[in-house]
Amino acid sequence: MEPYLEKDVMETQIYESAAASEHEQRIKQLASFSELGKALASSLDLKEILNIVMEKVSEMLQPKNWSLLLIDEEKNELYFEIVVGEGADKLKDIRLKIGEGIAGWVAREGNPLLVPDVNKDPRFSKKGDEATKFKTQSIICVPLKSKGKCLGVIELINKISEDGGFKEEDLLLVTTLADYTAIAIENAKFFQKIQELTITDDLTKLYNSRYLYRFLDYEVERAKRYKSNVAMIFLDLDKFKEVNDMHGHLSGSKLLTEAAKLISHGLRKVNIACRYGGDEFVIVMPQTSKQQAYLIAEKLRATIDKHIFLHDDGLNLHLTASFGVASIPDDAHEAPQLIQMADQAMYRVKNRAKNAVEMA
């Protein structure tokens, strides 16, 4: 074979090999997106959705570090929901203002961004690098947008390759992935909100009585199985009706919301506080003895007694509460009986001097 013909054949083979490789890569990416779409469509659990995204980002784009940040709408800040890579644990508590750094800029503008060299981009914030001692070179950051609203951003740092840089095709990939993710997150948050509405009280944001019975049934059965305790505090605000009569129902509602914050403050994660009805509240404490519950109730009684209610409205009201404490297995063996015993103990206080705690 002539040398020039041999050269042409070699070049053709190289071209065909590169084309075949690129075609294979695109098929692989399409398959990954198909898998991702099916997985995201099958779940309404936010944590599961974010774990699926985490796996696919790492598999398809191979960044050295990457993170998914969500927007805290109340504070107008970005917080790290997922962080993968070097120094991940040191980023969990860092927050970025909307507009701050590359991620903040993308969240504010709603546009994807590829920064080949962060040292040449004035939008880059060193806050993350200073916390992790990591050196950022290249960044891809894309918004998570659904129905025109930005929910957060996906940020990739330093691709695992010889030059560590990202390319335009990487940006397109992440943008497509972000579109899938944003829709799934929006659906999960909507489902979560619906669930919360069915188990929480609209006014106080504490759990409602529907959730109380469900939670209590589960904990009572668990206490029986493991021979442990479930304690309950039943409390009623003293002379609350007078607040409504003198200052109106709007002030009464605000006072209930304020009282709910005092009641739920400082509770362990395993405990729950519920609005039982009107101005009655219930606290359920798994793995808590009757004596421990009494001490907690006494501390809460003193807190309410000292608190000045509706100070911001200029009313400066003082209020007290009556408490009843009961537990399983000391006073009851079933959930309805536990509620009844705690309620009766509370009413004994109510019918005497009020502003006290009594055990069943």
Q: How many domains does the chain have?
A: 2
pLDDT score, position 19: 46
Tell me how far apart the alpha carbons of residues 135 and 157 are, in angstroms, rounded to a whole number: 9
Do 21 and 128 sit in the same domain of this protein? yes
pLDDT given for residue 323 in this prediction: 97
Task: Identify whether residues 159 and 248 lie together within a single domain.
Answer: no
Residues 193 and 216 in one domain: no
Residue in the block written with tokens 């929480």: 200
Q: Say if residues 67 and 155 touch (Cβ distance below 8 Å).
A: yes
Q: Are residues 347 and 243 in the same domain?
A: yes
Q: Domain residues for 190?
A: 3-197
193 SS3 class: helix
| Distance from C-alpha of 185 to C-alpha of 154, rounded to nearest angstrom | 13
Greater confidence (184 vs 4) lies with 184
Q: Do residue 86 and residue 141 come from a single domain?
A: yes
Q: Which of 197, 225, 249 is the last residue of a domain?
A: 197
Q: Which residue has the tokens 């025109």?
A: 148
Same structural domain, 312 and 170: no
* The pLDDT of residue 195 is above 80: no
192 in the same domain as 213: no
Does residue 94 lie within any of the structural domains? yes
Evaluate whether 114 touches 171 at the Cβ level (below 8 Å). yes
Quick one: 43 and 102 in the same domain? yes
Same domain, 116 and 57: yes
Query: Which of 157, 174, 197 corresponds to the end of one domain?
Result: 197
**Residue written as tokens 């759990």?**
207
What CATH number does the domain containing 134 carry? 3.30.450.40
CA neighbours closer than 13 Å in the CB half-sphere of residue 228? 14
Q: 115-128: per-residue pLDDT in tens?
A: 988 889 999 998 88
Q: Residue 272 domain-assigned? A: yes
Chain centroid offset of residue 173 CA: 27
pLDDT tens digits along 10-41: 555 545 454 445 556 555 555 655 666 665 55
User: pLDDT tier at 82 (50, 70, 90 boundaries)?
Assistant: confident
Which has the closest alpha carbon to 81: 194, 205, 166, 185?
185
Please report whether residue 90 resides in a domain: yes
Distance CA 72, CA 79 (A): 7
What one-character DSSP code corresponds to residue 202? Answer: T
Domain edge (last residue) among 197, 230, 258: 197
Are residues 82 and 115 part of one domain? yes
Q: Is there a single domain that holds both residue 21 and residue 154?
A: yes
The number of beta carbons lying within 10 Å of the beta carbon of residue 16 is: 10
Same domain, 217 and 77: no
Mapped onto helix, strand or coil, the DSSP state of residue 69 is strand
Strand locations in 185-279, DSSP E? 230-237, 272-277
Distance CA 207, CA 181 (A): 30
| Residue 203, in any domain of the structure | no
How far is Cα 99 from Cα 76, in angstroms, rounded to an integer?
10
Lowest mean pLDDT among 48-57, 189-198, 337-346: 189-198
Asked whether the predicted pLDDT for residue 284 surpasses 90, the reply is yes
Amino acid in position 313: D
Q: In this predicted model, what pLDDT tens digit does every residue of 230-279 receive, in sequence order?
A: 999 999 999 999 999 999 999 999 999 999 999 999 888 889 999 998 99
